[in-house]
Amino acid sequence: MIEPGSIELATGEHFDVCIVGAGIVGSSIAMALGERRLHVAAVDLDLSGRLSSSEKNAGGVRATWWQAVNIVLCRASIEYYQRIASEVGFRQKGYLWLYDAATWPEALAHIQLQRHLGHRIETLSPIDVGRRVPEIDRLDGIVGATFSPEDGLINPNLLKQHYRAEALRRGAQFLDRVYVTAIDAGSDAVRIECWRSDDEMPDAGLIRLLTQDAPGEAETGHLFTITAKAVVIASGAWSPHLLRLLGLENYSEPVRRQVCLVDNRTTNLDRYGMIVDTSGVYFHNEGPHILAGYSLPKEPPGYHFNYDGDAFFQAEVWPRMYARMGCMERLRHISGWAGLYEVSPDRSAVIGCGAPRVFEAHSFSGRGVMQSYGAGQALADLIANERYGALDATALSRDRFTHGEPVFEALHI
């Protein structure tokens, strides 16, 4: 197998498209462009993704959203993940979402649209919840629930590898240790100015580059230029930097999210998919453990990667889980991590053409894994054919922030 990053660019090689950022979204776009026979270079400072959101997420996949475009892109992704389920560890065990009095009417108001767009979803009473998941033995505050059996969990690393392998098979080139420092989108081509580290990027150098701005003095590297007909900004939470290089308005911000890995000796939740409590805590079985997350409502934006560890678990996660399930009494914190959501004002992604020869797919606001396939296919059609094909992401264009309709999503964990 050809390893990403092992290919050197031939001098003067000209690409149809250069993708900046080869996380799960950039890798999906590379595959989709390859399927359309376009010659692709995907560059990334760290293809292993040590700080990338694609390596830090909870692996949830669902189409239970409020807005049609989000449901459609996630449905398309789910249908694709079904076809490659064993390769990418896709387990359709459903999402069980518990609602309180304040949120239940809103949930009910969107179920018709979800069903209309083909997404199976059941409504449950609190008693049904207790029957379906007997481990949920404290039903206080639950007014209703939804269960969507086609949603589930995926191994995001395997999915990213799948996209890359398919892209490589179609001739895409993945360049590792490459940091984009400038982009000039001219009338006939785009010039992408790159700095390439001569050595493996140490953690400290990576953090410096991805939390500050320019190559640090300690790193040695060289400069080179990639020329392409078009560029795609798929740089996740770092897209604001790339947009700034292009003089494009940025609307999104990085926000830290933490998840805990928990030792659970008394309960096996393996037969369930994701459970989302009324309190906002969400969890699912992760091998012999439980992965549990909670988004702090007042988390300040910024490139923050510190994980608050046992203190976070004890203060924010465990009390909420135990309040719902008595069997969680003896949960023990093992470890955890923090990564970045890239959050847009309406909590939907920005996908489309930002300027002539400049395309973008970022700000997935916690939905990048579950939407990666659909987003890649939609954008690739727009790039290859200058219009959307079967999947239309027009509603997610950046224009909506100035003179369009927001694509507001509230079921955001």
* Binding residues among 230-249 for ligand FAD as defined by CB under 6 A: 234-238, 241-242
Binds ligand FAD (CB under 6 A): choice among 4, 49, 254, 352: 49
- For residues 384 and 36, the answer to whether their CB atoms sit within 8 Å is yes
Q: Which is nearer to ligand FAD, 180 or 384 (CB)?
A: 180
The answer to the question of residue 24 lying near ligand FAD (CB under 6 A) is: yes
Element (H, E) at 340: strand 332-343
Name the residue among 365, 306, 315, 316 with its Cα closest to residue 336.
306
The answer to the question of residue 67 lying near ligand FAD (CB under 6 A) is: no
Minimum gap (Å) between residue 266 Cβ and ligand FAD: 25
* Binding residues among 161-220 for ligand FAD as defined by CB under 6 A: 178-180
Say how many residues touch ligand FAD, by CB under 6 A: 42
Give exposure, 108-145, as e/b (b: 16+ Cβ within 10 Å).
eebbeebeeeebebeebebeebbeebebbeeeebbbbb
The answer to the question of residue 5 lying near ligand FAD (CB under 6 A) is: no
Name the residue among 376, 377, 378, 401 with its Cα closest to residue 388.
378
The answer to the question of residue 34 lying near ligand FAD (CB under 6 A) is: no
- Stretch of 20-28, 111-119, 126-134, 386-394 contacting ligand FAD, by CB under 6 A: 20-28
Q: Which is nearer to ligand FAD, 137 or 249 (CB)?
A: 249
Binds ligand FAD (CB under 6 A): choice among 17, 44, 284, 391: 44
Task: Find where tokens 């923090």 sit.
Answer: 338
- For residues 132 and 269, the answer to whether their CB atoms sit within 8 Å is no
Q: Which is nearer to ligand FAD, 57 or 173 (CB)?
A: 57
Beta strands (DSSP E) in 266-331 are 274-276, 282-286, 289-294
Name the residue among 60, 8, 106 with its Cα closest to residue 291.
60
- For residues 370 and 74, the answer to whether their CB atoms sit within 8 Å is yes
- Stretch of 17-25, 30-38, 82-90, 168-176 contacting ligand FAD, by CB under 6 A: 17-25
Binds ligand FAD (CB under 6 A): choice among 257, 333, 357, 400: 257
**CA atoms of 292 and 242, how far apart (whole Å):** 32
- Cα of 302 vs its chain's centroid, Å: 17
CB atoms within 10 A of CB 171: 11
The answer to the question of residue 369 lying near ligand FAD (CB under 6 A) is: yes
DSSP state of 410: -
Binds ligand FAD (CB under 6 A): choice among 281, 340, 343, 379: 340
Minimum gap (Å) between residue 193 Cβ and ligand FAD: 10
Q: Which is nearer to ligand FAD, 99 or 364 (CB)?
A: 364
Binds ligand FAD (CB under 6 A): choice among 54, 278, 344, 348: 54
**CA atoms of 352 and 367, how far apart (whole Å):** 17
Binding residues (CB under 6 A) for ligand FAD: these are 20-21, 23-26, 43-46, 49, 52-54, 56-60, 178-180, 234-238, 241-242, 257, 259, 293, 339-341, 362, 364, 366-370
